[in-house]
Structures are given as C-alpha cells and as structure tokens.
Amino acid sequence: MSKTGSSMTCCQSANRKDTHPWQQALPEAMYIVEHLTRPNDLVLDTCVGGGTTLVAAERLCRPWVGFEIDKTTHRIATDRILEDRNAR
C-alpha cells in the first residue's frame, strides 16, 4: 500500500485450499490496523475470511474479535492465526 493509502490489492489465491480466495496481503492489513488503531484498541473483523486482519492485529499487539460463518473458511483463518503465533 502506498503511503497515501490510495491503492489496495488482494491476493487472489483461489487455486490453494489453505487460503481464502480473496485473502488480503498482510503488509497492507498491518498498515491499515497500525494507522487506524492504537495499541490496546480492539480490532473487530466481522468477515474474517483468511484471517489476515487478525494476524495483523496480533502482530501489532491489538486485541481482536472476529466472526466467520463459513466453517471451512473459519478453519483456514484459525489455522493461519495459530501458524503465525507458532512461527514467532
């Protein structure tokens, strides 16, 4: 994402079974979370998808709450968040 915030891209990964088809790029999610919240602000993601926003929130020490109605997508996001926690 540019410093002006004027552009945003998605990582289309429909051919992979371990990602959401329109998973957002992590650097962009981190930029958004970092610049629109303060430490200890709650990050609310009502459509978790691949979990990118929640991974960004964790990396930036923001508490978070996420909702996802699709069980398969929920599993993808949960696995991604846990994988990121274990990698750090």
3-state secondary structure of 84: helix
pLDDT by 10s per residue, the chain, length 88:
434 443 444 444 444 556 666 678 999 999 999 999 999 999 999 999 999 999 999 999 999 999 999 999 999 999 999 999 999 8
Task: Give the phi and the psi of residue 52 in degrees, each rounded to 5.
Answer: -60, -45
Residue 12's pLDDT is 42
- The whole model's pTM is what? 0.77
Which top CATH class is 21-87?
Answer: alpha beta
- H or E stretch including 43? strand 43-45
Q: Where are the domains of the chain?
A: 21-87
Residue 37's pLDDT is 97
Residue 8's pLDDT is 41
Residue 24's pLDDT is 82
Full DSSP string of 30-42: HHHHHHH--TTPP
Cβ-proximal residues to 71 (8 Å cutoff; 6+ apart), any chain: none
